[in-house]
Amino acid sequence: MKRCIAIFSIMLIFSFPAFFAMGAAEKDEGRYAGAGVCQDCHAEQTKSISKTSHWKKVIKDSPAADKGCESCHGSGASHVSEGGGVTRDLITFGKKGTAKQKSEVCLACHQNSKEIAFFDLGVHKRNDVTCIDCHTVHNSAVHNLKTTQPNLCLGCHKGVRSQLNRQARHPIYEGKVKCTDCHTSHGGFGPKMIKADSTPDLCYKCHMEKRGPFAFEHPPVAENCGTCHQPHGSNHEKLLMSKPPRLCQGCHSTSGHNNRPYSFQNSFGGSATGSRNRFAGQGCLNCHGNIHGSNRSPFMVR
Ligand code: HEC
Ligand code: HEC
Ligand code: HEC
Ligand code: HEC
Ligand code: HEC
Ligand code: HEC
Ligand code: HEC
Ligand code: HEC
Ligand code: HEC
Ligand code: HEC
C-alpha cells in the first residue's frame, strides 16, 4: 500500500510541469469553433458536403442546423487555434478510432430513424462494419453511398460474388434485383439479415404465385424455398441446389418408381424392354410439373 502511494506521489510530481505547460489549445478543448470557421482551410470538404441533405439548414436536426462540421468532427476549437493540429477532441474517422466510436457519431442522430433503429442487433455491427464502410458523407451520391450495388457489398462478400458467377442467378448485375431488396444492411430481426421473418415470406414478395394456397401442397415449399433453391446463384437451372432426379431423391428414395438407378441402361440409351423404366431421362418434372403445389392432383402431375 505504502509503495502504491509513493509511486502515485512521484507520478503527481512529474506530471506537474505538464499541467502548467498547458497552452491555449488545452483550454480550448471541448469548445466549438463555430460555423464557418472550418471552410477557410477545408474548401474541398466544405464543397463536397454542401449539396447533401446534411448541409440543408431547413432540415431540422441536420448537422447544418446543429453544429455544422463539428456535429460529426467534434469540437474543433483547439484544432483551429493550433492551425490544424491533430488534437484529442477532433474526431477524424481515421484508423485510430474504433468501429463503435465511428458509428456512434452517426447514431447520435440516426438511432431513431426507422431504417437504422436495429443497427445494434445486426451482424454488421457485431463484425465491426461501420456506417462509413458503406457511406461517405463527403459526396452527393444517392444515399451518400461509396459506390453502387452490388459492388458496394461484393467488395467484402467474395463468396457471394462467386455464387453470382454461376449459370443461373437472380438478375442482380442487370440491376433488376438488388442485394437490399432481400437484405437489410443495417440489421434487423430476420435470419441472415433478410427483410422478412422467413425465407418463404421473403420470396413471396416477388413470387406471389408460389404462396398458394393449394389443395395439394408440397410440404418443403412453404417450409423453406432454400431447401431446393440457392437464392444467389447456382450451376443448375432455376437456381436449384442440385439437379433432379437427385434433388428429389434426397427425400424420396425409399420405394416406388422414383428410386430407379439413373444409369445408361435405364435412360434413353438402353434398349426398351419391359423391366426397364425409362422416365424420359428420369425427369421427374416432366410428370410432376406443378412442384410447388397443385389444385388438381395430389401427385402434382401436370
Ligand atoms: C487554420 C486552418 C484550419 C482550420 C480553420 C481548420 N483546419 Fe482542419 N486541418 C487543417 C490542417 C493543416 C490539417 C492537416 C491536413 C493534412 O494532414 O492533410 C487539418 C486536418 C483536419 C482533419 C483531418 C485530420 C486527419 O488526421 O485526417 C479534419 C477532420 C479536420 N481538419 C477538420 C476540421 C474542422 C471540423 C474544422 C472546423 C472546426 C477545421 N478542421 C478547421 C487546417 C485547418
Ligand atoms: C455528417 C457528418 C460529417 C459532417 C457534417 C462533416 N464531416 Fe468531414 N468527415 C466525415 C467523415 C465520416 C469523414 C471520413 C471520410 C469519409 O467518410 O468521407 C470525414 C472526413 C473529413 C476530412 C478528412 C479528409 C478526408 O477527406 O478524408 C476533413 C478535412 C473533413 N472531413 C472536414 C469537414 C469539414 C470542413 C466539414 C464542414 C464543412 C465536415 N467535414 C463536415 C463526416 C462529416
Ligand atoms: C447532427 C445530426 C446528424 C449526424 C451527426 C449525422 N446525420 Fe445523417 N442525416 C441527418 C439528417 C437530419 C438527415 C436528413 C434526414 C432525412 O432526410 O430524413 C440525414 C441524412 C442522412 C443520409 C441519407 C441521405 C440521403 O440522401 O438519403 C445518410 C446516408 C446519412 N445521413 C448518413 C450519416 C452518416 C454515415 C453519419 C455519420 C458519419 C451521419 N449521417 C451523421 C442528421 C445527422
Ligand atoms: C453494409 C453497408 C451499410 C452500412 C454498414 C450502413 N449503411 Fe446505411 N445504407 C446502406 C444502403 C445500401 C442504403 C440504401 C438504402 C437501401 O437500399 O436499403 C443505406 C441507406 C441509409 C440511409 C437512408 C435511409 C432511407 O431509406 O432514407 C441512412 C440515413 C443511412 N443509411 C444511415 C446509416 C447509418 C447511420 C449507418 C451506421 C449506423 C449506416 N447507414 C450503415 C448501406 C449501409
Ligand atoms: C432474392 C433474394 C436475395 C438477394 C437478391 C440476395 N440475397 Fe443474400 N441471401 C438470401 C437468403 C434467403 C439468404 C439465406 C440463406 C440461408 O438461409 O442460408 C441469404 C444469405 C446471404 C448471406 C449469408 C451467407 C450465406 O451465403 O448464407 C450473405 C453474406 C448474403 N446473403 C449477401 C448477399 C449480397 C452481398 C447480395 C447482393 C450481391 C445478396 N445477398 C443478394 C437472399 C438474397
Ligand atoms: C466492409 C465490409 C462489408 C461490406 C461493405 C458489406 N458487408 Fe455484409 N458482412 C460483412 C462481415 C464482416 C459480415 C460477417 C461475416 C460474414 O457473415 O461474412 C457480414 C455479414 C453479412 C450478412 C450475413 C448475416 C448473417 O446473419 O450471417 C449479410 C446478409 C450481409 N453481410 C449483407 C451485406 C449487404 C447486402 C451489403 C451491401 C449493402 C454488405 N453486406 C456490405 C462485411 C461487409
Ligand atoms: C425483389 C424481388 C425478388 C425476390 C424477393 C425474389 N426474387 Fe426470385 N426472381 C426475381 C426476378 C426479377 C427474377 C427473374 C425473372 C425473369 O427473368 O423473368 C427471379 C427469378 C427467380 C427464379 C428463376 C431463375 C431462373 O434461372 O430462371 C427462381 C428459381 C427464383 N427467382 C427463386 C427465388 C427465391 C427462392 C426467392 C427467395 C429466397 C426469390 N426468388 C426472391 C425477383 C425476386
Ligand atoms: C421441393 C423443391 C422445391 C422447393 C422447396 C421450392 N422449389 Fe421452386 N422450383 C423447384 C423446381 C424443381 C423448379 C423447376 C421447375 C420447372 O422447371 O418447371 C422450380 C422453379 C422455381 C421458379 C422458376 C420457375 C417458375 O415456376 O416460376 C421459381 C420462381 C421458384 N421455383 C420459386 C420458389 C419459391 C418462391 C419457393 C418457396 C416458396 C420454392 N420455389 C420452393 C423446386 C422447388
Ligand atoms: C426436402 C424434402 C423434399 C424434396 C427435396 C422433395 N420432396 Fe416431394 N415431398 C416431400 C414431402 C415431405 C412430401 C409429403 C408426402 C410424404 O410425406 O411423402 C412430398 C410429397 C411429394 C409428392 C406427392 C406424393 C404424396 O405421397 O403425396 C410428389 C409427387 C413429390 N413430393 C415429388 C417430388 C419431386 C418431383 C421432387 C423433386 C423436384 C421432390 N418431391 C422433392 C419432401 C420433399
Ligand atoms: C412418367 C411420369 C412420371 C415420372 C417421370 C415420375 N413420376 Fe412420380 N408419379 C407419377 C404418377 C402418375 C404418380 C401417381 C401415383 C402412381 O400412379 O403411381 C406418381 C407418384 C409419385 C410419388 C408418390 C407415390 C410414390 O410412389 O411414392 C412420388 C413421391 C413421386 N411420384 C416422385 C417422383 C420422382 C422423385 C420422380 C423422378 C425421379 C418421379 N416421380 C418421376 C408419374 C411420374
Q: How far is the CA of 73 from the centre of ligand 1 (A)?
A: 10
| Count of CB atoms situated within 10 Å of the CB of 62 | 17
Nearest CA to ligand 5 atom 36: 179
User: What's 277-288 look like in SS3?
Assistant: CCCCCCCHHHHC
Nearest residue (by CA) to ligand 9, atom 35, is 284
Residue 85, pLDDT > 70, answer: yes
Average pLDDT of 192-207? Answer: 96
How many A from CA of 157 to the centre of ligand 2?
A: 27
**139: alpha, beta or left, given left = phi > 0 and alpha = psi -120 to 50?**
beta
The preferred substitution site among 145, 160, 201 for testing ligand 5, maximizing ligand atoms within 8 Å of CB, is 160
Q: pLDDT tens for residues 204-227? A: 999 999 998 999 999 999 999 999
How far apart, in whole angstroms, are the C-alpha atoms of residue 191 and residue 198?
A: 7
pLDDT value, residue 278: 45
171 within ligand 9 shell (Cβ under 6 A)? no
Say what the pTM is.
0.91
Instruction: Give the phi and the psi of residue 135 in degrees, each rounded to 5.
Output: -110, 145
Q: What is the pLDDT of residues 53-75, one digit of tens each?
A: 999 999 999 999 999 999 999 99
Whose CA is closest to atom 11 on ligand 3?
Answer: 62
Ligand 10 site residues, Cβ closer than 6 angstroms: 245, 248-249, 252, 256-258, 279-280, 282, 284, 286-288, 299, 301
The reply to whether ligand 4 has any atom less than 6 angstroms from the CB of 133 is: yes
Terminal CA-CA length for the chain:
87
Alpha-carbon span 26 to 6, nearest angstrom: 28
90-131 pLDDT per residue, tens: 999 998 889 999 999 999 999 988 889 999 989 999 999 999
Longest pairwise C-alpha distance within the chain: 104
**Element (DSSP H or E) covering residue 125:** helix 123-126
Report pLDDT for 28: 61
Which listed ligand is nearest to 55 at the C-alpha? 2
Q: Residue 156: pLDDT above 90?
A: yes
In this predicted structure, what is the pLDDT of residue 3? 52
| 151 CB-side CA count, 13 A | 4
Predicted confidence at residue 244, as pLDDT, reads: 85
